[in-house]
A and B are shown apart, each in its own frame.
Chain A
Amino acid sequence: MLPFVLTVSVVLCTGLALVFHMILAQDTGRADKQKFKIGVVGETAGSYLGFGIQAIKTFDSSRFAMEMVYLEEPDAKAQLTDGEIAAYVVIPDTFVEKAVQGEILSLRFVSTSGALSLNTLFKEEITSAVSDILSSSQKGVYGLQHAMQANGLSQKAGGMMDRLAIEYIDFILDRSELCRVEVLGISDNLSLPGYFLCGLFTLFAFFLNIPCAPLLVKSDMVFHSVLVSKRIHVAKQILCEYTAFFILLFILTAVPISVLFLNGAAVLELSDFSIGMLPSLWLRLIPFVATVSCCGFLLFELVSELISGVLAQFVVSVVLCYIGGCFYPMAFFPDVMQKYAVWLPAGLARTYLAGYISGEAAWPALLGLCVYFVIFLGAAIAIRNRKIRKRRAAA
């Protein structure tokens, strides 16, 4: 039976890896080829600002990469979450007024994270601007030095050059305060590939229960009744069977996730993942696998035919993962559904995994998984007790 389980697991893993690869390719293509749409939020009525934005939209070379739209902040946030805009810039109310007085207020730049997203482009633009200013200031300082020496003012040159250098440095430092970047994230502060990595892996873990159906679906309770007669009671039976099932599923889950994380450079959150971090990943995987496998174990305990077991497992996995946001970002669902779905087993499992890759503890999700684990295991014991009692009554 083990070769069958392994074969199906490899097929499932390959299928979901292909889907993930397609999502990554799509995301990369989007970042490379599409024009970024940026929302402009806040004080946009000023004519100076309007002129500036119009100039960027019309004359600046960035017009080939960016499109600017005026929005209110709640709309901008919603559109950003839905992926309709790549980022939005919040302009403070007194920005133009202060700029005229020589004071530059910070702009707030809100975006989702992503390896090839606007953040990267934006940082490159800032670096380029700073480089240009530095080279220009260098030319200015040395030009001043040459001019003063040529006109016999060498003695005063040192002081003048220092003042000019300080003016340039002040200007650059001011520019560096111009903008503050905030990362909103698609959901759970993750990039799109990071989010789908968690979602698809949760689906994979749920699907791994399916090939184990021949091992766990019991058509009758004769063997288990004999075990009871030998003082191996139901709770002990369930714990022994579940432990073996958990170990099998843990291995089947830990191997692909380790390979995936070690080769996951395309996912922003995994760019620093190294082989030394594998033990902590495996440790964090224990509650995840325990709850997902216990959910499958309970379903197998509920049915008494192989076909019913496979069907029940498939339907429950798909429904739980769909509602739990494994197929689409949670923002896709209505607010009420989002509120409750995140507490379903698949939602908790995905959130818990997301917590790991985003470097957060995810304690509520861990607690939720533990509660589900205890409920599932308790229910499995109660159901087997009932089945054995029913068999006795039938006898």
Chain B
Amino acid sequence: MLVEMKGIQKRFKRKEVLRDITFSLHSGMCAGILGANGCGKSTLLSILAGVQKPQSGSFLCDGMNLFKKPALHTQLVGYVPQGTPLMEELTAKDNLLLWYGAAQMKKELDDGVLAMLGIHTFLKTPVYKMSGGMKKRLSIGCAVAKHPPVLLLDEPTAALDLVCRENIVAYLTRYKAQGGILLLATHDASELDLCDVWYVLKDGKAQPFAYDGDVHALVKTF
């Protein structure tokens, strides 16, 4: 599968947040979107997720523009935003049931993606009683309900403890190994290691960056 972002442009009133964002990814690849706070990383991901519309540009999947095919977009793209995209007063199980069928959820909890994320351990816990790590794992679990081949994640391990972080990174590594395409907005070094290509967003433009583990060199480009 080939995913291409072409000429994506976004403006809020007079402020141009994204200018001609263009890059492409193959199956099994992970791209890291880097940059200072407020540079437009989350905006780019939310445009690709279909939450907001760009002024121009296209999001192609094997040549089909997903911006113009909403049903296909829903099927192919999973999205995990910053914050908690869950219903606080419901339990983990009830939240999962919003996205999964009962039989599918049971199967995934037994030996699928939900088991891998360790969600079975807090199935009856209401979201408002969960830790940040539990919420993030549950959010990813909900996002991948339809097994989307493209997954967009906005700082998936931010503010999580080491165990949770390792758990999530392990899942993402496996997702990538199974041919999934990952697009991460991140600041985290462990997530940077997961990426195959890196783009630094600055002044609305995405510049390719060759990350070699030198965080100082990376920060200088912001």
Interface residues, chain A, CB within 8 Å of chain B? 1, 214-215, 220, 222-223, 225-226, 228-231, 388-389, 392-393, 395
Contact = CB atoms under 8 A, between A and B. Distances in A.
A229 B49 contact: yes
Given A229-B49, A229-B50, 8 more contacts: A222-B81, A222-B82, A225-B46, A226-B143, A228-B51, A229-B51, A231-B74, A395-B82
B87 interface: yes
Interface string B71-83: 1001001010111
Contact of B87 (A223, A225, A395): A223
A300 to B, nearest CB: 14
Given A215-B89, A395-B43, A226 B70 contact: no
Nearest to B83: A222
Contact of A220 (B51, B52, B83): B83
Given A392-B43, A392-B46, A393-B12, A226 B71 contact: no
28 contacts: A1-B89, A220-B83, A220-B84, A222-B83, A222-B84, A223-B84, A223-B85, A223-B86, A225-B46, A225-B51, A225-B81, A225-B85, A226-B49, A226-B51, A226-B85, A228-B50, A228-B51, A229-B51, A229-B74, A229-B79, A230-B74, A231-B50, A231-B70, A231-B74, A392-B43, A392-B46, A393-B12, A395-B82
Chain A contact residues, majority secondary structure: helix
A226 B89 contact: no
B42 interface: yes
A222 B89 contact: no
Nearest to A227: B85
Contact of B81 (A214, A226, A393): A226
Contacts of A229: 46, 49-51, 74, 77, 79
Interface of B: 12, 42-43, 46, 49-52, 70-71, 74, 77, 79, 81-87, 89, 143
A229 B139 CA distance: 14
Contacts of B84: 220, 222-223
A388 B46 CA distance: 12
Contacts of A388: 51
B82 to A, nearest CB: 7
Contacts of B87: 223
Most buried by A among B46, B70, B71: B46
A392 B89 contact: no
B42 A226 contact: no
Contacts of A389: 52
Contacts of B143: 226
Nearest to A392: B52
Given A223-B87, A225-B81, A231 B43 contact: no
Nearest to B40: A395
A278 to B, nearest CB: 32
Nearest to B87: A223
Contacts of A222: 81-85
Contacts of B70: 231
Given A228-B51, A392-B52, A393-B12, A214 B89 contact: yes
